[in-house]
Amino acid sequence: MSVVQNIMEEVKKRNPGEAEFHQAVEEVLISLEPVIEKHPEYVESGILDRLVEPERQIMFRVPWVDDKGNVQVNRGFRVQFNSAIGPYKGGLRFHPSVYLGIIKFLGFEQIFKNSLTGLPIGGGKGGSDFDPKGKSDNEIMRFCQSFMTELYRHIGQDIDVPAGDIGVGAREIGYLFGQYKKIRNGYEGGVLTGKGLTYGGSLARKQATGFGLIYFVREMLAANNDSFKDKTVVISGAGNVAIYACEKAKEYGANVVAMCDSKGYIYDKNGVNLDTVKQIKEVERKRISEYVKHHPEAEYHEGQKGIWSIKCDIALPCATQNDIHVEHAKQLIANGTKIVGEGANMPCTNDALNLFLENDILVAPAKAANAGGVATSALEMSQNSMRLSWTFEEVNSKLDAIMVNIFKAADEAAKEFGMEGNYVAGANIAGFKKVADAMMAQGIV
Q: Is 428 in the site for ligand 2IT (CB under 6 A)?
A: no
90 is in the binding site of which of ligand NDP, ligand 2IT, none (Cβ under 5 to 8 A by kind)?
ligand 2IT
Q: Is 439 in the site for ligand NDP (CB under 6 A)?
A: no
Closest to 209 (Cα-Cα) out of 440, 418, 50, 406: 406
CB of 91 to ligand 2IT, least distance (A): 3
Nearest residue by C-beta to ligand NDP?
Answer: 239
262 is in the binding site of which of ligand 2IT, ligand NDP, none (Cβ under 5 to 8 A by kind)?
ligand NDP
Pairing of strands 160-163, 56-65: unpaired
Q: Is 209 in the site for ligand NDP (CB under 6 A)?
A: yes
CB of 48 to ligand 2IT, least distance (A): 23
CB of 102 to ligand 2IT, least distance (A): 12
User: Could you give the CA distance from residue 403 to residue 180 in angstroms, rounded to a whole number?
Assistant: 32
Question: What letter represents residue 186's amino acid?
Answer: G
Residue from 18, 27, 139, 165 in contact with ligand 2IT (CB under 6 A):
165
CB of 399 to ligand 2IT, least distance (A): 12
Q: Is 192 in the site for ligand 2IT (CB under 6 A)?
A: no
Residues 232-251, one symbol each (x = binds ligand NDP by CB under 6 A, - = not), give: -----xxxxxx---------
195 catalytic per annotation: no
Residues 300-339, one symbol each (x = binds ligand 2IT by CB under 6 A, - = not), give: ----------------------------------------
Residues 371-400, one symbol each (x = binds ligand 2IT by CB under 6 A, - = not), give: --xx--x-----------------------
Closest to 113 (Cα-Cα) out of 317, 379, 406, 323: 406
Q: Which of 125, 248, 338, 367 is catalytic?
A: 125
232 is in the binding site of which of ligand 2IT, ligand NDP, none (Cβ under 5 to 8 A by kind)?
none
User: Could you give the CA distance from residue 409 to residue 118 in angstroms, rounded to a whole number?
Assistant: 10
Residue from 31, 110, 117, 345 in contact with ligand NDP (CB under 6 A):
345
Nearer to ligand 2IT, 161 or 310 (CB): 161
Q: Is 76 in the site for ligand 2IT (CB under 6 A)?
A: no
Total chain residues near ligand 2IT (CB under 6 A)? 11
Q: Which residues are part of the catalytic machinery?
A: 125
Q: Which chain residues interact with ligand 2IT by CB under 6 A?
A: 89-91, 113, 163, 165, 193, 345, 373-374, 377
Q: Which chain residues interact with ligand NDP by CB under 6 A?
A: 164-167, 209, 237-242, 261-263, 304, 318-320, 343-345, 370, 373
